[in-house]
Amino acid sequence: MSHKRVPKRKIVFAGAGAAAVAAAAILLPNANASQDDKADAQPKKVNAAAAADIASELASKLGEAFGGAYYDKDKQQVIVNVVGDSNNVNVEVKKAGAVARSVKNSTADLKTAAKTLKTKATIPGTAWSVDPKTNELRVTADSTVTGAKWDTVQSTVKSLGAGMATVKRSAGEFKTFAAGGDAIFGGGARCSLGFNVTTDSGAPGFITAGHCGVAAKEWSDSQNGAPVATVQKATFPGNGDFSLLTYDDANTNAPSTVNTGGGKTVNITQAAEATVGQQVERMGSTTGLHDGTVTGLDATVNYPEGTVSGLIQTDVCAEPGDSGGSLFTQDGSAIGLTSGGSGDCTAGGETFFQPVTTALAAVGAQIGGGAADNGAGAADNSAGAADNSAGAADNSAGAADNSAGAADNSAGAADNGAGAADNG
């Protein structure tokens, strides 16, 4: 099937895009709470972006008493997990406009438990993330984890102690996904551009999944087309799944706009942290636009190619052809880049995303750089369309099991020194 080419210097791709709330061991000052006129402050109604800022601020202030936070979208409130019964801690939470919730496990406790899982249960097909709603680690094992491997997962979770972690099965298989927002092609693989960015040196470029960046050095905006961008940095597996490419034409106009299909776009104005409970949307070339909720932070996923840490876990569906695609909010915040997961958009499943904030910091780039009014023009090349998703299957080099997330690009990726995912 033919693909329309976006005119040179007016390339716009759909984006993708978040990060875990970090806790710092900073002790509270011994303030006299009764003298603080904000001690009786009522919880504030905030949006998800503001919730992430409040949670991050309290993580620093509460230190070891901080047990994570999440966003109650129905009440529009930030719920903060608090360990212990210090009145000063509760005062700080109220001053920030959040709601304090007494829990057993601190962030430090959960991180220690995660280290044990990493040491004893790093098995392909397993994943874990922090779930502040349950104040536990959420451990998931896919359909490939059987026999002695499943026994190891269960025994390791049990060794952590009661109330520290839960384990469940996933019907699918954890794999990276190929392609996403607007289709890009390289080295026999098909992926999706995440968000257009401007590098610290002022060059126009974009970020996408790292397993795409290690699969090929040069990428085109059409199948079998001339290269339009070159990989500068790529991380996969390891501490993330992200890559930075710069446009070969330095005059490329690359606005940060997500094409959501049907001639509609969302202008991306900033990168933002993810918050558990936050409503998000994902755009992909195979499955189009889907929404869902952030369910976990600081996720570790053990793909067949290796372990990736620091991801966002969601219940947003995805399928082969969606890698690198945009995770964003309707108000224009870039949250994540599609990494991988299990399931599909019929039965559902888990999908993991690379936080955009972490990726930008690692590669030295910022959201933005071009005029947003070119956003709709990207639709021609895009992937919101099913046309390209069919092409993805053809381009995937005869994938043996596309429904499970396999697209034979893994071999091509490995040939490119990628050790990359099945779908490039």
Query: 10-residue block means of pLDDT along the chain (424 residues)?
Result: 40 37 33 47 87 92 93 95 91 95 94 96 96 96 96 97 94 67 77 91 94 93 91 97 96 87 90 96 86 96 95 92 90 95 88 98 85 36 37 34 34 34 37
What is the residue extent of each domain of the chain? 42-103, 175-415
Question: What single string gives the DSSP state of each residue in 375-409?
Answer: GGGGGGTBSSSHHHHHHHHHHTTS-S-GGGT--TH
Among residues 387, 336, 381, the alpha carbon closest in space to that of 357 is found at 336
Domain 42-103 indexed as CATH 3.40.1710: no
Residue 40 confidence (pLDDT)? 62
Q: Which CATH code, of 3.30.70.2860, 3.40.50.720, 2.40.10.10, 2.120.10.80, is assigned to 175-415? A: 2.40.10.10
Name the catalytic one among 131, 142, 221, 241. 241
Would residue 3 show up in a list of annotated catalytic residues for this protein? no
Residue 54 confidence (pLDDT)? 94
Would residue 243 show up in a list of annotated catalytic residues for this protein? no
Residue 268 confidence (pLDDT)? 94
Name the catalytic one among 170, 211, 285, 382. 211
Question: Peptide bond before 320: cis, by omega within 30 degrees of 0?
Answer: no
Residue matched to tokens 């049907």:
262
**Which residue spans within 20-134 are E strands per DSSP?**
66-72, 77-83, 99-103, 126-131
Would residue 211 show up in a list of annotated catalytic residues for this protein? yes
Cα(33)–Cα(39) distance, integer angstroms: 6
Residue 256 confidence (pLDDT)? 85
**Which residue spans within 187-253 are E strands per DSSP?**
189-199, 204-208, 218-219, 229-235, 242-247
Name the catalytic one among 222, 256, 323, 382. 323
